[in-house]
Amino acid sequence: MAEAHQKNHDYHIIDPSPWPLLAAIGAFIITFGGVGYMRYLNGGELNLLGVNWASPWLFFVGLAIILYTMLGWWTDTIKEGREGHHTRVVSLHLRYGMIMFIASEVMFFVAWFWAFFDASLFPHEAIQASRVEFTGGQWPPAGVEVLDPWHLPLYNTVILLLSGTCVTWAHHALLHNDRKGLVNGLALTVALGVLFSIVQAYEYATAPFEFSNSIYGATFFMTTGFHGFHVLIGTIFLIVCLIRAMRGGFTPTQHFGFESAAWYWHFVDVVWLFLFFSIYIWGSWGAPLAH
């Protein structure tokens, strides 16, 4: 009987799963609910089929569905790996999927960088398009005090670069079956990720400009804020990997979950370097610094 069930190929057909359908439903609800949430925040309405959907609750229902789907889907993926279904071909395709996900995230940030450079390189066109003097014909906008890039932003840059070094150390330790080095490297990476978020929260609380007072503030907070959100997600990702590492859930040959977290964290590092040089340094050049 054991020989009859022995795997003699590199492919694996998973059992029927509810997760793709549930993910699609959750994505639709959170998108529709997000529109209703924004209408609610602005005191508007979203009438459809005789019902006013301008409420925050639908957005959080969709978010709960997505979080539940992520938990269930990834738990099943971990279970499949433990059962030996992650063969050479399956593991390769999982990596392709992670690469495509990161590529989609790259395009997401390209949109925000595009908005920032469009407003900063063509401030006069921004005025003509909006018919409102957002920039004063210059960049940074007239009257806006900017953050000193060589203070907290530089501090956060050093933090993220150190965290990337630590996660690389953890990966190297895993490949050499060094459990202590793996756990220590992941723990330091998580600590540095938390520290980065704390520093950015303080930076936002003390920023001399607001989201709504100029296009500079809008593009600054949207771009850096979404990056901060990705740092938060990556930190949670690494915390899960840390717990699994402490329980012996990774081996030198079977550690796709950790590898995905490391790729994601390096992606966050690279995006921050672009943010630091383009928005904090170049984008604030010549403007008065807030102290």
Q: What is the mean pLDDT of the chain?
A: 87
Q: What is the pLDDT of residues 241-260, one digit of tens each?
A: 999 999 988 989 888 999 99
Q: Clarify whether residues 263 and 140 are in a common domain.
A: yes
Question: In which residue are the tokens 């005191």 written?
Answer: 43
Domain count across the chain: 2
Model pLDDT, residue 8: 64
**Are 124 and 209 in the same domain?**
yes
Looking at residue 4, its pLDDT comes to 45
Range among 78-82, 128-132, 176-180, 212-216 with highest mean pLDDT value: 176-180
- Whole-number percent of the chain with pLDDT over 90: 57
| Over residues 38-57, mean pLDDT | 86
| Strand blocks (E) in the chain | 47-48, 51-52
**pLDDT tens-digit series, residues 20-33:** 999 999 999 999 99
Q: 207: which 2 tokens?
A: 């920023």
pLDDT of residue 212: 76
What band does 232 get if pLDDT is binned at 50, 70 and 90?
very high
Residue 217 and residue 111 share a domain: yes
Cα separation, 280 vs 112, in Å, equals 15
Say whether both 176 and 269 belong to one domain: yes
Q: Quick check: 263 and 102 in contact, CB under 8 A? A: yes
pLDDT at 134 over 80: no
Residue 160 is predicted with a pLDDT of 95
What pLDDT score does 211 carry? 82
- Which range (70-79, 131-140, 148-157, 191-200) has the least confidence? 131-140
What is the per-residue pLDDT across 136-175, written as a single tens digit (0 to 9) for each? 567 888 778 889 899 999 999 999 999 999 999 999 999 9
CATH number for position 21: 1.10.287.70
Inside any domain, residue 6: no
Supply the pLDDT for residue 42.
Answer: 84
pLDDT at 126: 52
Please give the average per-residue pLDDT across 51-61, as a whole number: 90
Rounded to whole angstroms, how far apart are CA atoms 265 and 262?
A: 5
Same structural domain, 79 and 163: no
Q: Are residues 76 and 133 in the same domain?
A: no
Answer whether the bond into residue 16 is a cis peptide, omega within 30°: no
Enclosing domain of residue 45: 15-85
Backbone angles phi, psi at 223, to 5 degrees: -70, -50
- pLDDT of residue 82 exceeding 60: yes
What integer is the mean pLDDT of 214-234?
91
Question: Tokens for 10?
Answer: 């590199």
What's the pLDDT at 131? 44
Verify that 39 and 91 share a domain, yes or no. no
Task: Give phi and psi for 289, each to the nearest 5.
Answer: -90, 140
Q: Are residues 77 and 166 in the same domain?
A: no
Domain identity same for 81 and 94: no
Q: What is the CATH number of the domain that holds 254?
A: 1.20.120.80
